[in-house]
Each structure stands twice: as C-alpha cells, then as structure tokens.
Amino acid sequence: MFFKFTTAGESHGKALVAIVEGVPAGLPIDIAAINHELWRRQQGYGRGGRMKIETDTVEILSGVRHGKALGSPIALTIENKDFVHWQDVMSSEELDEQPKNPRLVTRPRPGHADLAGGQKYQTRDLRDILERASARETAARVACGAIAKQLLAAFGIEIKSHVVKLGTHPEHLLEKTWEEIASIPKDSPLNCADADAEQEMIAAIDKAKTDGDTLGGVIEVVAKGLPVGLGSHTSWEDKLDGRIARAIMSIHAIKAVEIGDGVANAGRRGSEVHDEIFHNGETFNRSTNRAGGLEGGITNGEELRVRGYMKPISTLRKPLHSVDIDTKEASDAAFERSDITAVPAAGVIGEAMLAIVLANSMREKFGGDSR
Ligand code: EPS
C-alpha cells in the first residue's frame, strides 16, 4: 500500500476535494492540526483580495472514526467561500440563459497555463483552464500533507520551511539552522528567519505593488529525524531525490528544485563539496551537510534540505502584451485581481509535498496496516 493522494476542484467552484490513501488504521487524526496548516498557507505579506474571502477549514467525509484513521481512503473537502459570487459562472448544470456577466477569459496571461491549456483542450473560454491551473488547488494538497505530517510525527519526524530569498533580497540565500527556523514567530509576515532581510523583502513587495508587478523567490523545506535508508539507489524511480524534485516542482510556479547546496556544489571542487564521514563510537556522522541529507537517492540520517525556486506570479496588475484568442488582435493580458507574491505559502505547500513523499517512503520501508 502506498501513501498517495489525489485532488479535484476549481478555484471558484463549490469546493476542493481530496482522497488520501495509505494512512495506517489507528493513526490519530487531528483535524485542528490540519486546519492550522491550512491557515498557515493563507498567510504571508503580499497576498491579494481572495485570501480575505477564504478561511480554509477541512471537513472529513470518510476514513476517520472517532478521531482515528480506519485504514480506508480518507475523503476531505474544503469549501470555496468565494463560490457564492460565481454560482452561475461555475455552475456544473447546463444553464437556460447565459450569466449576465459570463466572465469569459480570452486574453491569456504570459507565464500562466491559459494559452497552452486553451490550445490543448480546444476551449474558447480560458477560464476552463485557469480555474484548475490556479494555485487554489494547493489548499487540498496542504490538507493531505497535514495528514502525512501526522504519520511522520508518530516516528519523531518533523518538517519546517522558511523563505530564503524574495525577489533579489537578500543577495545570497539565507542559511539557517533547524533551531533558527523553528524560532520564526508564528506571525512572521514572510516566514523568514532573518528580521532585517524580511524588512528588505517587505519593501520590495511594496515597490512591486506600486509598480503593478509581482515577485518570486526561494523557499527551503527541511525534514528532521529521518531514519537512514529511505529511498534507494537501485532504480531511477526509487531515488528519493528524484521523487522529491518531482513533488516540489509540481507546485504551481516552482521552476527549479535544489537538494542541499546542489546549485553551488556544481561550481566547487569535490574536496569542498562532499561531507566527510566520522564515527563517534555510536553512529556515523558528518560535520557538514552540503548533500542535503541524501546520497545515492537514500537518506543518510542528516537533515533533508530541499529548495524550491518560484517564478513571479503571472497575473500582473500592469499587464504584459498578449493576443485575444478570438480576434487575434494585440491586447493586454487579463487581470481581475492577484497576489503580489505567494512565496511564504509555497513553503507551506513544499512542507506538505515533502511530507507526502516521505510518508510514502516510510510505508515502503516499514509497511504495516495499523499503528
Ligand atoms: C490564483 C489567483 C488568485 C489567488 C489564487 C491563485 O485567486 P483569485 O483569482 O480568486 O483572485 O488568490 O490563490 C488562491 C485562491 C489560494 O487559495 O491560494 C491563480 O490564478 O493561480
């Protein structure tokens, strides 16, 4: 049995839904903890008007009884509060008459799925694409990831994230210990472990807002307490770094993934990169962790560190050049409303995706039907 999940739901549809499989029977499921993760995903300086409408909370429909997993699929749903404003536009029923304001989208945003998706699925209303391409879907992932985190916590494994760069600030990626990341205040505006850098980031967001622009950045996700031996060197699809890269890259707007110091390591000598091996009489250990906790696609007992590089959001208040797909005439790309940046949210989503990959690896290695 694998730990796996699937989601459904459109951004302005009635709800997001997800099914999680592979949760061992008897695992306590803390719904408040799931809601706390959902709350964390909604935070971050630079979010737009939509986050003022939504207060994401989960409803569990199956697979949990009296607070404990049954071992059966866990179905969950998160309501889209904004749906009340979109009932006719997003109705699943065929309508007798067109909505007064059909909110048709015909001016694709460069960088978004709008145009490529519209061409692939042969639609004249790009809303058919953008509704599912929207990062709203990540709320469902975070709920599934919160369950994975609860499974990992039963084995003493914890996952945290932080923002290490936003736009061009600071110049170099922030390097922080687990303890420094753990002591970021819950109300930190950007989930950043360096208060000065955070102020620079906030100023950059304010400037981008004034300019009608958007910003990307870099997040780092760290897992602590992992056993040696998750993943395997034996086959390409079992290499844990490959699985993690896929999971992190699948997050909306993430365009590059780095394990440990992978990017900088490519330009260094071997003697400056590889983490030398010591033994303290009880365990093997290292004094550095440039490999980010993975060697040969296998966890080596060090902290697992992965970075995700996020491009700027593609919905700009000062729109880029585009073409109307109906008239083929030059026009501004569509804009309704948008976040200036969602980098802190990407960190929370990265935690969820890493938790899901690791929960699956734990199942693979240790198996078992019940707690
Ligand atoms: C998104 C556009 C915005 C974001 C949304 C992702 O939504 P709206 O079009 O309703 O203003 O706020 O993110 C979320 C709704 C969320 O929950 O994170 C997009 O086009 O990707």
Residue 315 lies in a domain: yes
Look at residue 201 in the predicted model and tell me its pLDDT.
98
What's the token pair of residue 172?
């170099």
Distance in Å, CA 115 to ligand 1 centroid: 18
Any domain includes 102 = yes
Residue 136 near ligand 1, beta carbon < 6 Å = yes
pTM for the predicted model, two decimal places: 0.98
Each residue's pLDDT tens digit, 126-179: 999 999 999 999 999 999 999 999 999 999 999 999 999 999 999 999 999 999
> Is 53 part of a structural domain of the chain?
yes
CATH at residue 29: 3.60.150.10
Each residue's pLDDT, cut to its tens digit, for the chain (371 residues) gives 899 999 999 999 999 999 999 999 999 999 999 999 999 999 999 999 999 999 999 999 999 999 999 999 999 999 999 999 999 999 999 999 989 999 999 999 999 999 999 999 999 999 999 999 999 999 999 999 999 999 999 999 999 999 999 999 999 999 999 999 999 999 999 999 999 999 999 999 999 999 999 999 999 999 999 999 999 999 999 999 999 999 999 999 999 999 999 999 999 999 999 999 999 999 999 999 999 999 999 999 999 999 999 999 999 999 999 999 999 999 999 998 999 999 999 999 999 999 999 999 999 999 999 98
Query: Residue 184: which domain range?
Result: 4-366
Atom 7 of ligand 1, nearest CA residue: 50
**Number of the ligand 1 atom closest to the C-alpha atom of 48:** 12
Peptide bond between residue 189 and the one before it cis (omega within 30 degrees of 0): no
CA distances from 242 to 160, 166, 208, 235, 275 (A): 20, 25, 34, 11, 20
Q: 29-40, pLDDT tens digit by residue?
A: 999 999 999 999
CA distance 195 to 250: 30
Residue 70 lies in a domain: yes
Residue 325 within a domain: yes
Quick check: is 371 in a domain? no
- Does the beta carbon of 140 sit less than 6 angstroms from any atom of ligand 1? no
Atom of ligand 1 nearest to the CA of 49: 11
Is the residue at 203 inside a domain?
A: yes
For ligand 1, whether the C-beta of 50 sits within 6 Å is yes
What per-residue confidence (pLDDT) applies to 1?
84
Task: Determine, yes or no, domain membership for 344.
Answer: yes
Domain count, the chain: 1
Separation between Cα atoms, residue 183 and residue 135, nearest integer Å = 28
